[in-house]
Amino acid sequence: MSIQANAEHVASYYAATANPAPERPALVGDIECEVCVVGAGFTGISAALHLAEQGLEVVVLEAARVGFGASGRNGGQIVNSYSRDMDVIEARYGADTARALGDMAFEGNRIIRDRIAGYEIACDLKQGNLFAACNRKQLDGLREHKALWERYGNRQLELLEGEAYRREIDSERYVGALVDHSGGHLHPLNLVLGEAAAFESLGGTIHEQTPVLEVRHGESVTLRTSGGSVTARRVVMAGNAYLQGILPELEGKSMPCGTQIITTEPLPEAQRRELIPHDMAVEDCNYLLDYYRFTADGRLLYGGGVNYGGQDPADIAAVIRPKMLKTFPQLADARIDYAWSGNFLMTLNRLPQFGRLNDNVYYAQGYSGHGVTCSHLAGKLIAEVMRGEGERFEAFADLPHLPFPGGRLLRVPLSALGAWYYATRDRLGW
């Protein structure tokens, strides 16, 4: 998906309730700096902020606005760990890799909370998220999931078997749930706007409306934009699913996917207390999962569906509202006030891709649907590797970056076929 010139935030609930933020001028002229970051989402701003805290001179170039991509549009769920769980990592990549990644699985969550507290970011943080099982097989999976996460140090999990889940969700759809009391949810656009302001307070510079058009590799790297260029000793590429056409090495082994969200009108407090009594964020365990939560002003924010290739459906509410009503038929009369779409980046093994090109261009991308916490971890690890402490970054960088079957041409239909198979298994409870 190419970003239009002068693109603004998508018309979402988040954009409508964003904290005031300055418009940062586009880059004009040729400048030099120590580190240039491309992309002002969680990955780019997290890296920029960690680097600025280390005293480095950092310039961020953003094609549209801070938080324009997935970071300013997502479900806002603080979900621990990765899109692939540690048992699979252990089985495929060995105990050492699993231990290294497992030790970092809950760190992104902590970084977010430290940022919010340390820089006093107003972003509607609430406590707790849960995973809801739609069938017995998924509930068995949650039981294993709990044991696994406990092994890696998360002691704040609670399995709700049978009808006990109704303590948390007033829906017929489930057979149980796993609560993570250490998870949570927040207003993601306000988080990234707050982190960007924190970065600027340390002397960092952000240029919005400045797409990078070309990367010229060398001892220093030159990033060409329409109004000028930045020459930097080191570069961080953080364009994720919105990066297009400038680094085929990063774009070939992943696939942009669209997912859509709707938001109801504010609901009466009594109804909210019935539907999700403890105000947690919820996602189900289906391959094509639904995710939802209440916003600070009492709207149900409901997301679901995946479009391989990242094309938006013509009528988002027509796709997502039936899913919401399947979970909560009680909301048949609720007005839908906002509907929007965003792209995340899927990898074949569902593990993030961290690495570097030509020694001085670092990247982190491909969180495969769960990126709120891992993108924050990524920023920290990039800052670590740049100060010569690369062990934790390398633990991720050593993971294989696999090409999608079918290449760029056939990856979309083949993935859709695979998803159809897994969605059918979920429906039948296999």
Binding site for ligand FAD (CB under 6 A): 3, 38-44, 61-64, 68-71, 73-77, 79, 211-212, 238-243, 246, 259, 261, 291, 303, 342-344, 365, 367, 369-372, 375
| Least gap, CB of 256 to ligand FAD (angstroms) | 9
Please answer whether residues 264 and 347 qualify as being in contact, where contact means their C-beta atoms are separated by less than 8 angstroms.
no
Q: Which is nearer to ligand FAD, 140 or 214 (CB)?
A: 214
- For the record, the structure tokens of 102 come out as 């497992």
| Least gap, CB of 147 to ligand FAD (angstroms) | 22
CB within 8 Å of 228: residues ≥ 6 apart: 27, 28, 29, 30, 31
Q: Which is nearer to ligand FAD, 205 or 343 (CB)?
A: 343
Cα–Cα distance for residue pair 357/366, rounded to 1 Å: 16
Q: What is the dihedral of CA 81, 84, 88, 90, to 10 degrees?
A: -40
| Least gap, CB of 371 to ligand FAD (angstroms) | 2
Cα–Cα distance for residue pair 153/197, rounded to 1 Å: 33
The per-residue b/e assignment along 236-262, b for 16 or more CB within 10 angstroms, e otherwise, is bbbbbbbbeebbeebbebbbbbbbbbb
Cα–Cα distance for residue pair 105/99, rounded to 1 Å: 10
- For the record, the structure tokens of 174 come out as 């489930």
Q: Which is nearer to ligand FAD, 300 or 333 (CB)?
A: 300
Q: Which is nearer to ligand FAD, 44 or 128 (CB)?
A: 44
Cα–Cα distance for residue pair 229/61, rounded to 1 Å: 10
Closest CB to ligand FAD: residue number: 371
Q: Which candidate, 71, 365, 32, 65, places its Cα nearest to that of 206?
A: 65
| Least gap, CB of 152 to ligand FAD (angstroms) | 18
Q: Which is nearer to ligand FAD, 136 or 216 (CB)?
A: 216
| Least gap, CB of 29 to ligand FAD (angstroms) | 17
Q: Which is nearer to ligand FAD, 246 or 414 (CB)?
A: 246
Question: In Å, how far are 75, 101, 113, 183, 390 from 13, measured between CA atoms?
Answer: 11, 34, 23, 22, 39
| Least gap, CB of 309 to ligand FAD (angstroms) | 14
Q: Which is nearer to ligand FAD, 365 or 415 (CB)?
A: 365
The angle at the Cα of 319, spanning 317 to 320, to the nearest 5 degrees, equals 65
Cα–Cα distance for residue pair 338/199, rounded to 1 Å: 30
| Least gap, CB of 163 to ligand FAD (angstroms) | 27
| Least gap, CB of 375 to ligand FAD (angstroms) | 4
Q: Which is nearer to ligand FAD, 102 or 239 (CB)?
A: 239
Q: Which candidate, 44, 383, 48, 40, places its Cα nearest to that of 202?
A: 48
